[in-house]
Structure 1
Amino acid sequence: MARPRIVVVGAGFAGVACVRRLERTLSPEEAEILLVTPFSYQLYLPLLPQVASGVLTPQSVAVSLRRSRRRRHRHRHRHRTRIVPGGAVGIDTLAKVCVIRKITGELVDQPYDQLVLAPGSVTRTFDIPGLAEHGRGMKTLAEAAQLRDHVIAQLDLADAAAPGSAERASRLGFVVVGGGYAGTETAAALERLTTNALGRYPRLDRREISWHLVDVAPKLMPELGDRLGRAALDVLRHRGIEVSLGLSVAKAGREDVTLTDGRVLPCRTFIWTAGVAASPLIATLGAETAKSGRLVVAPDLRVPGADGAFALGDAAAVPDLAGGGDGAVCPPTAQHAARQGRVAADNVVATLRGTPLRPYSHKDLGLVVDLGGRDGVSRPLGIDLRGMPAQAVARGYHWAALRTGAAKTRVMTNWLLNAVAGDDFVRTGFQTYESGTLRDFEHTDRYLTPEEVRARTTADGDT
């Protein structure tokens, strides 16, 4: 008999944790494991702002999927999981087929026996004029690297522009929308980049640079609580970042951004980090979804009505059994995703072996926010920290969470080198070839409709 085929979609925290657990639990004879991902690395997403600001190199946060963390596992698990270089663009849960668009653009149908859906999320956008054309995201490695190039290019071009000109004002105007972790850390990291770079641009004055952080919520990072949220707000404002809460963007243009209170901000760098939505792949299932398009799942991560399918991570509304109360779901954090991945793997194994499945339950251990320099706010195990202790906890947590020794070494070396030698503020040339907007990197228009998926799988079944 053929081995059961387990298809895992997504190489984020959830997908990688699931695959590693499956490799260690199942013998090669028990199942074949496939991992569908366009890149053979796990992106350590929380450190992307440090890539954009030049503190870390892109390779530092791209953790190889082909390198084992422990030397003693290298031989045992070598070539165990087959990596399929592409992205899932449609699922037919009745035919048990996953439609994959390979990195060549070719569409292939991949049958499965067990399916683990961990496709993650995309940037949540709204119907705001100019957002798709001018907004920049911070969800991918390419976006972070391109954003660094773009910001340094604005300094170069502003330095060459006439003092007091409209061009100079717009090139030195930076707007970040989103007062969550991604937006706050991005604004903090990139503001340090522009401030530190001024020593190389004697024709620019610090007073000419304007940074704005905008969020529709009344508080900054409300998950941290009032005290730490205010502490983070004080750090940003002390650095000269103007924080506007209770507002959003009405429209965006090539050289300015208009806020909902009527203010028009000169700006050629408009960064959008206002939350996330589930991957468009979820919509192809035609299944029940919750807020932000997340797939409704049972406590044991099974997808109701879909035989052999599990979903987790940012793309799933996983019930929060540990402390959220009735109807609460787990927040889309790396902490939950990694632990859900291990539970999903255990439940896939239990399904294959005919043993009971277990529900996912985990109490959040805390939150960490690195604001760059000597600033940070963190709440590990419910203890409020700020300043250097908070930043040390944040960096220590991220360093420990990196999966391989090579990644740990690269990150630590980059931190030390940046602290000692600083930055040279050079561009690599990425921004010469792409505009770098949201539509350039997230490819949300490449997914199939449920009807297209059924048409493909029905045709395959008839032939």
Structure 2
Amino acid sequence: MPEPRVMIIGGGHVGLTLALRLQKKLSEGEARVTVIDTQPHMTYQPFLPEAAAGSLEPRHVVVPLRAALRKCEVLTAQVTGIDHERKKITATLGDGKPGELDYDYLVVVPGSISRALPIPGLGDQGVGFKTIGEAIFLRNHVLSRLDIAASTGDRDLRKRLLTFLFVGGGYAGIEAMAELQSMARYALRAYPQLSERDMRWVLVEAMGRIMPEVSPPMGEYTQRQLESMGIEVKLNTTAESLVEGHAVLSDGAEFDTDTIVWTAGVKPHPMLENSDLPRDGKGRLECSTKLQVRGADVVFSAGDCAAVPDLTSSDPDALCSPSAQHAVRQAKVLADNLVAKLRGEQLIDYKHKHAGSVAGLGLFRGAAEVYGIKLKGLPAWLLHRGYHLAKMPTVSRKARILGDWLMELPFRRQVVALGELHDPRAEFVKAANTRGLPKSRGTSAAG
């Protein structure tokens, strides 16, 4: 009999974790595992803020899929649809042509994308914070605003350049803003023309508190820490317009900004809309406690795109929160259940009580609440780094990240903008399209 084909849609943290576990548990010839993703690497998103701030080398927070999954097939392609009735997925492959791929077992873990709202100007002016590209862009962008502001005598322009707006007060927005603000404050040492008073950092949150993942007292502590750093926190406030960088907020405030970062939530990957699998009201796949999609016992899911019952809750309708903590643990149970399914063994339920949360708030600052124990400041910051270092896939990446941190001890943080990374051909195109004077006869191009 031919090997059954296990198709994994998504090479993110969940996809990589379960694929690593599958290639460890499956015997040779037991199954053919294929991982398909638009990117050839996995990005460890909890380290994006530190990569943006320059504490970590961006390459060290991504794991190349082909290097890590040597016993799996890796395809770089865009999945556009799932036809479970025919057991086929539709994908646009590397050559740009659509094609169909068969599967015997399917794992759907494409993750989520930013949940943008129809706010005028957001699409033109905003940037998200979910990919390594966005993290690198924001680092270069913030530092380039300092460069330009230090080189202009126009007060209005300087004020606009040094105003930074973040929308969304969850973990992603808080950590990104704190790290980038910490980096910018450090960078000001090289700009005698500027001071911390020239910068304005504004956090806008629609709810009445920030960081809903932790208890209200810890959320209040985090807010006080941000405000002590000079960050304005606007609660119960929304952005009504962002046209041409002119921010209009629901509390009546208006100001110009050159930096708008959107971290106000996520939604399941839109690819799921083109499938015949059951979804809930939020667009997530309806799953059982065994991480199987309801009505499709050979299809599994986990992470942000899966609605998984929470067995630790007294509410029978409760679902697991879309957190990295649940996602990674679900990935391991999913892998074990898939192996059991292949071998005709009994599947187990996913059950995990949320242990708590840790967050970094810039260099040497943090907030953590783990198993009811609250930590603040340096201890929380150290726990944040230690926890995520332990969860980072592969020994190679752990060692590189630890090396980056150790190098920060004797040497200063590197703060330089490399904006040309985002348009590397600009200078060449300019040179190629510039018409110079006619060359004299007999003069060679080499001079």
TM-score by length of 2: 0.91
Moved over 4 A (4+): none
Partner residue in 1 for 2:35 = 35
Shift of 1:305: 2.7
**Mapping 1:266-415, distance limit 5 Å:** 266-323=256-313, 325-415=315-405
User: Within 1, Cα distance between the matches of 2:419 and 2:122?
Assistant: 24
Partner residue in 2 for 1:63 = 63
Cα deviation per residue 1:21-52 (whole Å; 9 max; x = unaligned)? 22122212111000012333221110101111
Letter matched to residue 255 of structure 1: G
User: Who wins on radius of gyration, i.e. which is larger?
Assistant: 2
Q: Is the 8 A contact 2:81 2:90 kept in 1?
A: yes
Q: Which has the higher contact order (CA 8 A, sep 6+)?
A: 1
Q: Is the 8 A contact 1:11 1:35 kept in 2?
A: yes
Partner residue in 2 for 1:443 = none
Letter matched to residue 309 of structure 1: V
User: Within 1, Cα distance between the matches of 2:71 and 2:96?
Assistant: 26
Q: Would you say 1:5 and 2:5 are equivalent positions?
A: yes
Cα deviation per residue 1:310-364 (whole Å; 9 max; x = unaligned)? 1111111111112362211111122211111122122222222222222211111
Q: Is the 8 A contact 1:251 1:258 kept in 2?
A: yes
Match of 1:149 among 140, 148, 156: 140
Letter matched to residue 87 of structure 2: K
Q: Is the 8 A contact 1:149 1:430 kept in 2?
A: no
User: Within 1, Cα distance between the matches of 2:420 and 2:406?
Assistant: 26
- In structure 2, relative to structure 1, the CA distance for the partners of 1:408 and 1:79 (3 Å cut) is closer
User: Within 2, Cα distance between the matches of 1:127 and 1:431?
Assistant: 30
Shift of 1:67: 4.2
Shift of 1:253: 2.3
User: Within 2, Cα distance between the matches of 1:286 and 1:130?
Assistant: 35
Partner residue in 2 for 1:54 = 54
User: Within 2, Cα distance between the matches of 1:255 and 1:170?
Assistant: 9
Shift of 1:130: 1.0
Shift of 1:294: 1.5
Q: Would you say 1:179 and 2:169 are equivalent positions?
A: yes
Match of 1:170 among 145, 154, 160: 160
User: Within 2, Cα distance between the matches of 1:375 and 1:316?
Assistant: 33
Partner residue in 2 for 1:133 = 124
Fraction of identical pairs, as percent: 37
User: Within 2, Cα distance between the matches of 1:97 and 1:80?
Assistant: 23
Partner residue in 1 for 2:100 = 109
Match of 2:73 among 55, 58, 82: 82
Match of 1:248 among 232, 238, 241: 238
User: Within 2, Cα distance between the matches of 1:106 and 1:116?
Assistant: 23
Partner residue in 2 for 1:160 = 151
Cα deviation per residue 1:247-270 (whole Å; 9 max; x = unaligned)? 111011233211112211221100
Aligned length in residues: 424
Letter matched to residue 129 of structure 1: P
Q: Is the 8 A contact 1:38 1:102 kept in 2?
A: no
* RMSD between aligned residues: 1.7
User: Within 2, Cα distance between the matches of 1:263 and 1:324?
Assistant: 43
Shift of 1:213: 0.7
Q: Is the 8 A contact 1:215 1:245 kept in 2?
A: yes
SS of alignment partner, residue 414 of structure 1 = helix
Q: Is the 8 A contact 1:42 1:62 kept in 2?
A: yes
User: Within 1, Cα distance between the matches of 2:275 and 2:144?
Assistant: 42
Shift of 1:420: 3.4
User: Within 2, Cα distance between the matches of 1:317 and 1:324?
Assistant: 17
TM-score by length of 1: 0.88
User: Within 1, Cα distance between the matches of 2:221 and 2:409?
Assistant: 24
